[in-house]
Structures are given as structure tokens and as C-alpha cells.
Structure 1
Amino acid sequence: MTNAAFNVLRILDRTGEKLSGEKISKELGISRSAVWKHIQELRDLGYEIEASQKEGYHVAQRTKRLLPYEIKRHLKTKKIGSDLHYAISTPSTIWLGKQMMREIENDVGEGLVIIAEEQTGGIGRLGRSWASPAGGVWTTIVLKPSIPIARAYMIMMAASVAVARAIRKEYDIGALIKWPNDIFIGDKKVAGMHLELSAEADIIHYCLLSVGIDVNVSVSDLMPTLNREVTSISEELGYDVDRAKFLARVLTEFERRYALVERNEYDALIREWKSLSCTLEHRVEIRTLKKTFEGEAIDLDEHGALIIRKDNGKIERVIAGDCYLL
């Protein structure tokens, strides 16, 4: 897609009025036939652009694609999302991120956001597959934090809080965080996160933070084993939402919390995470690679481990595992 086509779109968006091809061509210094060509390019991307010989062009309806141009219309960040990479389809955005870091790491700045309309091999926590059809938000953020490796989990906490807050603020839906990094609406999952590091000794070279959110996804189209366990924002609301505006909100909310991580203001982030938790103060079942047990989730320690009071009264610290609400 050429930048010239989006230059035409910027002019139409800026004026908000019908503009003739002649006026657009004069402002851009291109021919009227070139303007028409770019209008066709925009239509191919899903924009509904009406044309009249007397009055000219105007945008009747915006694209439903998650295009960088549309995201930036709403984005209010300084670093996160300063560069956006868009793909129609990819095995996964984190796969694409790894490929980019292998090939052009020095040219990839912190805050790059990789976006895909769909993932054919989405990856969730512990390497599990994650259904990623068109209509969701599938993205990976490149980060280069100057923090100890032991504090890397705070990035996941920042992302969890950001997604929950974005859903709450945009749609007034009571999204909550289930330890360690899932976002739930009621008893169903709507989003998940995954973090991979490139590090040496105690120095983090970069992190790839992947966030997957079921936004305008029809749950009935998912596998039967999934549609009983997950939901989507559109399913909860009864209508599709503006994904570009929503992703911009997520990135904005994340940048605010990521700034706390960079400033080592961990306590403030942990407090907010706890206030949005649907795990703490609830009875849970924990499944780790070695054992399964039940108890009450009573706290989160300074390293992100879940503290469980088991039925026999003993305290168990869980660093990694699956948590099920009972």
C-alpha cells in the first residue's frame, strides 16, 4: 500500500468535507488520474469512498481492517506504537518479531508494534496454541527495558492491567485478571499474554510481549472445546467495535504502566493488579508439572508468585502453573 494513498485519505479526513479530485491533486502535486488510482487503493482496503462529479470525494465509511493509519488516528503515546508493522496473515506476531530481531535487530526501535489480521499458528502461555481468527487483536510489542531479569514479570502485569483497564474504560465491561496473565469477563477468557526474552546474564537485550484479544470474534466459529471457555468483546456487547480505537487505548494504557516498570515503581503496579484480580481471595485449583492441589489464593508476592493457603493450612508459593477458579 502506497503512502500516497494515505496522503489522499489524510486530506479527506482533515477537511471532513467532499473534495474534488482537482483540489486533492493540486494540494498533493499529482494528477487527477493518480488521485483516482489512490481512491481505488483505499477502496480495496475496505474504505467506502463515495464520489460525485459535482461535489467530489468523501469517506462514507471507514475500513474495518486494523491498519496502522487507523490506529494512529487514536493513539496518544510517546513511544509504544511509534512504529507499526502490519501483516494480513502470519504464523504469529511473535514469530514475526523474532524474525525481525534476528535480521534487523539494530534497526528495530523500542515500542514497535507488530499487528496481524489473523494468526495461523498463534501461541499462548506454555507454548499452547491460541485460536487467532480475523476480527481479533493479535499483536506483539518490542521492548528494551533496563530492569533486572527477575523483574521481567512486571511487564506482564503491566500488560494485564492495561488490557483490563482498556476494556473497562472503552465498553464499561467488568474485565478482571486471572493469574498469571489471562483477562476474564465473567467466567470466560477474553485475552491472554505471552512474554519472551533475549537476555545475557542479568541484562535484557529485548522482550517480545504478545497480546491476543478476542474483539470482534464470533465464539460460535471457534472449536467446540473453546467456545464454552472463551468470550469476545463483541459477544458481550452484541455488536462489533472499532478495533483500531480499542488497540490505541490498550497501547496508551500499557505505556502508562510500562513507565512505572521503567521507573522501578513496582508497588503501584502491583496494587493496581491486585485491585483487578479475580484470583485473590478465591478458592482455586493449582496444576503444576509436578502436582495438583487446592486452596485459597491469598496474595501475590514481590516476584509475581501466587501465594496459596492449602486446605491443610500450609502456605504454598506458586511460580508457574495453571490456576482454575473453583
Structure 2
Amino acid sequence: MEDEYITETELLKKLDITHDKLRQNLQSLKDKGYKIAYDKDKGYKLKGIPDIVEPFEVSRGLKTKYIGHTIHFYEEVESTNNTAKKFVEQNVKDGTIVIATKQTAGRTRKHDGWVSPEGGVYMTMILKPDVSLEEASKLTIVTGVAIAETLHDEFNLNVGIKWPNDILIGKKKICGILTEAVADYDKLKAVLVGVGIDVNINESDIPKSLRDKATSVKEEYHVEYNRADILRVFFKIFEDLYEEFKNGNFKHIVAEWRRLSSTAGHHVKVYKHGKAIFADAVGIDNNGALIVELEDGSLEKITSGEVKILDN
């Protein structure tokens, strides 16, 4: 139906349904926000697509080999990562996705709450790479690069990556990543990569206490983006990088991180084991650790911790 008219007779034949069922389906699409034109001679034409993240919309035109081929959709969950854990026990395939319209208890790496109102992208990818637990932690870097490439390179948004897991516009966060391993003793069963992107969210939906450090794409660019379009592009870019990661080509991903970094070259405050370190961020090494130069000129690798950029 998209871009050209299709007659009712052709639709009935193609879908193999009755007139009544066709009209019910068309009305259901209209109720979801699809704009459908009708001409008594030409038939029906799709004129407008709503901003929804339901599986049938995300799947339209998806070009991946396996990422996003199975999507479990929810209107509301506490946390997509928590919901995804239940599917791991069901032995779902690598690349299965859990998506929700909103979360009531989204989490960050520090396990505090994060706002997840309608208009954002809230999802968890269930990944099953044949790697060690230590290697699995690199998927945070892989995902951050994939999101930044999607928004920066494909949608022309001026975003940058703040080590280890935030995507920023200017000084403000628009996306966070929460990576959790599901293991049986030391055997990795799955990696859950939770992603929250504040896309079409109004400033009024962001608590006042967070507005100095959080924003949305809509607020910064004053335009609404189709989230299914973003997901389709992201899934393809992520799949390509994920394959490189599994094939041992992490150096290429690190190079992309360096290109898209909003951390390297800045004076930072690093919280490590409850202690604050002031240093200059140099970059990341080939394993994804943050390299900082301390005040005495020595270099230190940070493998985990929170970073605050002080001079941007």
C-alpha cells in the first residue's frame, strides 16, 4: 500500500480475507495512527506512518540476518532487562529483542531509576556470543558505537559517546546502556544489553532534577523522529559490529569509538571505588578501558567507574 494505490480486490486476494475482515484491519490501522487514503477507482494508499515501535512496524524493511527477527513487545514493563531474563530461560535465539513503550522501573549501571516515559526507545537485546564473561563486557562499547553511528552518521545528529555507556548531545545524556551477563557459574548463558534512547520526549516529561543532565532528541532538534526507522538502522549497524566483535576484530570498533568520542581530550572526574580522580581523558585502549593522564603525568587505565566531563 505504501507509495502507490492498491485496489480492494488486489488486497483481498493478497491477504486472503473477507471484505468485513479487511475493513476491520484497515480501521485497526487507522486507530493506531496510520493515514490511509481511499479512491473509489484506485483503491487504498498508505500516506502516513505513526511513530510506534510494535514488531510489525519495526520489521518492515528490516535488513538484518537475525538481529530483531524475533521481537517481544510490551506496552509497559518494569524493566526490559528484567523481562528479558525470563526469555533466556526459554532458550531464545541470539538477537531476540524485548521492546516496551515505557518502563516503570528502568535502571542505570548504578542501579538507580531512570525516567522512561512514552516517546523513547526502551529495549533489551538478548545476545549469545561464544565468549568469556570478561569479553562479554565489551558489548557495552560495541552497542555505544552502534548507537552513535546510527544517530550521528545516519540521522545527522551531533552526538558523542561518554565512556563507558552514555550517548550525549552537548553535555546532556540522551541514551544509556546497561549490560548484564546471565551466567551459570562461570559459563556465559547470555548477555542482556539494555538500551534507552530519549527520542520524542518533551522536556516536561523529564523531572526538573534531571533536566541539567538529561535531554531528548526532540528537545535538542525540535523535530520528531520515527523510532521504528531508528531501530531498523540501529539493528543493521549493530549486527555488523557484533559480527566483527565475535570474529575478534574489536580494534575496528575501538577506532570507531575514538572517532565518535565526547570523552577523549577532556578534563574528567572519575569515580573509582568511591574515590574521585581528576585527570585528562586520553582515550581507550584496545580492550575498551579508559586511559587517563593524572596530574603527575602518569597514565592509568580505568576498567570500571563513573566519569564526569568537567570542561565541555
TM-score, scaled to structure 2: 0.93
CA contact (8 A) 1:299 1:308 kept: yes
Q: What residue in structure 2 maps to residue 61 of structure 1?
A: 48
Aligned partners of 1:219 and 1:230 also within 8 Å: no
The residue that corresponds to 1:100 in the other structure is 87
Q: Where does residue 278 of structure 2 map in the other structure?
A: 294
Deviation of the 1:201 alpha carbon: 5.1
**Rounded Cα–Cα distance in structure 1 between residues aligned with 2:274 and 2:107:** 23
- Closer/same/farther in 2, CA of residues 37 and 285 from structure 1, 3 Å limit: same
Aligned equivalents of 2:65, 2:13: Cα separation in 1: 33
1:19 is aligned to 2:3: no
1:35 maps to which of 7, 16, 22: 22
Gaps of 5+ in 1: 1-11
Per-residue CA deviation, residues 273-294 of structure 1 (Å, 9 max, x unaligned), is: 1222121221101113331120
Query: Letter of the aligned partner of 2:129 in structure 1?
Result: P
CA distance in 2 between partners of 1:128 and 1:199 (Å): 23
- Alpha carbons of structure 1 residues 100 and 291: separation in structure 2 relative to 1, 3 Å: same
Correspondence 1:124 to 2:118: no
Corresponding residue SS for 1:126: coil
- 2:182 corresponding residue in structure 1: 198
Q: Residues 117 and 205 of structure 2 are in contact (CA less than 8 Å); yes or no, is this contact kept in structure 1?
A: no
Of 200-209 and 159-168, the range deviating more from structure 2? 200-209
Bigger mean CA deviation after superposition, 302-311 or 76-85: 302-311
Residues 110-150 of structure 1 show CA distances to partners (whole Å, capped at 9, x for unaligned) of 11111111111111112121111111111111100011221
Q: Which has the higher helix share?
A: 1
Is it true that 1:304 corresponds to 2:249 in the alignment? no
**Partners of 2:249 and 2:34 in 1: CA distance:** 43
Matched, 1:46 2:33: yes
SS of equivalent to 2:82 = helix
Q: How does 1:147-166 map to 2 (within 5 A)?
A: 147-166=131-150
Shift of 1:52: 5.0
CA distance in 2, matches of 1:128, 1:213: 17
1:5 equivalent in structure 2: none
1:84 corresponding residue in structure 2: 71
Partner of 1:261: 245
Amino acid at match of 1:250: F
Aligned residues, how many? 310
Root-mean-square deviation (CA, aligned residues, Å) is 1.8
Looking at structure 1, the residues matched to 109 and 159 of structure 2 have their Cα atoms a distance apart, in angstroms, of 19
Tell me how far apart the structure 2 counterparts of residues 264 and 147 of structure 1 sit (CA, whole Å): 10
Counterpart of 1:87, as a letter, is Y
User: Any unmatched runs of 5+ in structure 2?
Assistant: none
> Counterpart of 1:170?
154
Q: How does 1:132-281 map onto structure 2 within 5 Å?
A: 132-200=116-184, 202-281=186-265
Q: Give a deviation string over 1:219-249, Cα, whole Å, max 9, x none.
A: 2321001122122222222110111111111
In the alignment, the residues of structure 1 paired with residue 10 and residue 292 of structure 2 have an alpha-carbon distance, to the nearest angstrom, of 67
The answer for the alignment partner of 2:93 in structure 1 is 109
SS of residue in 2 equivalent to 1:63: coil
Q: Displacement, 1:180?
A: 0.7
Are 2:263 and 2:283, in contact at CA under 8 Å, matched by a contact in 1? no
What residue is the counterpart of 1:3 in the other structure? none
Work out the percentage of aligned pairs sharing the same amino acid: 33
**Structure 1 counterpart of 2:285, which letter?**
D
Shift of 1:18: 4.3
The alpha carbon displacement at 1:70 in A equals: 1.8
State the 1:202 CA deviation: 4.5
In 1: Cα distance, 2:309 partner to 2:15 partner: 58
Q: Distance in 2 between matches of 1:325 and 1:203?
A: 36
Q: Distance in 2 between matches of 1:173 and 1:28?
A: 39
Give 1:8's aligned residue: none
The secondary structure found in structure 1 opposite 2:60 is: helix
